[in-house]
Structure 1
Amino acid sequence: MNLLPPALARRALRTLGAAGVLLVVGLGTTACTSADPAPAPAVSRTTDDAAANDALYRCLMDQGFAVTRGAGGAIEFKDPEDTQGASYTTARSQCLRDLEADGTVVAAGASLTAQYASMSRLHACLTTKGITMAAWPTEAVFVEKDGAFNVLSAAEEVTMERAAGLCPDEVAALEAQ
């Protein structure tokens, strides 16, 4: 049983047919031209300082350097004959790059700049206390070399404990980073 007169029924079918075609074409076009999928959310990996320090310590040991732990867990390398300084710096830089690549260490320019400022204050303080310190790099060189400089390099042995006795505020600021 048809509720519409034949002329009206044909017109309704044509309209519905056209609307159906437009709907299918529209959906297909939307699927083909939709915006690129949303990028995946950025993954943020964080590692606490102790774990990063431990990973650096193990890496340096694996590279053959007899590093030790100083005050506050700081990694110390003593080279009495001063024959391994360049190779230690190279190995430390490589370890930091490797640890940064796997996400263990994040050595951003801002953190290196802050570290440089603290280390420079300690270096200046030790110099004013009469210790003949090794030449200190510029900030650009420090950042370029991933901070691989020993702030305690001096003509005489300077431990972190001795530095803390001479420049307690500067050592505290450095260890707080």
Structure 2
Amino acid sequence: MCGAEVKNLPEGVQRVAAALESLGHPHRPQMLDDAARTAQQAADALGIAVGQIAKSIIFRRKSDDVAVLVVTSGDRRVDEKKVEAHVGGKIGRADADFVKSRTGFSIGGVSPVAHATPPVTLIDQDLLRFEVVWAAAGHPHGVFALHPSDLQRLTGAPVVDVVQTPVAA
């Protein structure tokens, strides 16, 4: 991607592109034709399984108002009790204003990297089921590809169990 291409991207995607480049990540953000505000929308747009979407969910740690980022597979639901055990305190849902002020991104485009204020981050181990996953790149139309193990390298976050046990079909 040349400099002119990056300058034509939304500001949040530019931040993510710069962070990925500085961290030596080989894949640059791509812009989708349609918004991918949900894991299912992103999977449909990319033609992949919903589980291959590395969704970023922001919580608010109640004791100190710190953002907690949980990156999990698009086909899984976060178990808040498991998250609380890993982050040392109660968490609550984060509203749109909290997400924007802490991350610099709007809900539906929260990237696992390039946050305005570094969050406490956890990566769910179920992402390791896949060879390639796709994460939001700072905008509801922006995504980038990566190997699940790259998430740990890019964020420095631990890989842990933070999801509800899937129900067998």
> TM range, normalised to the smaller chain?
under 0.3
TM-score under structure 2 length normalisation: 0.23
TM-score under structure 1 length normalisation: 0.23
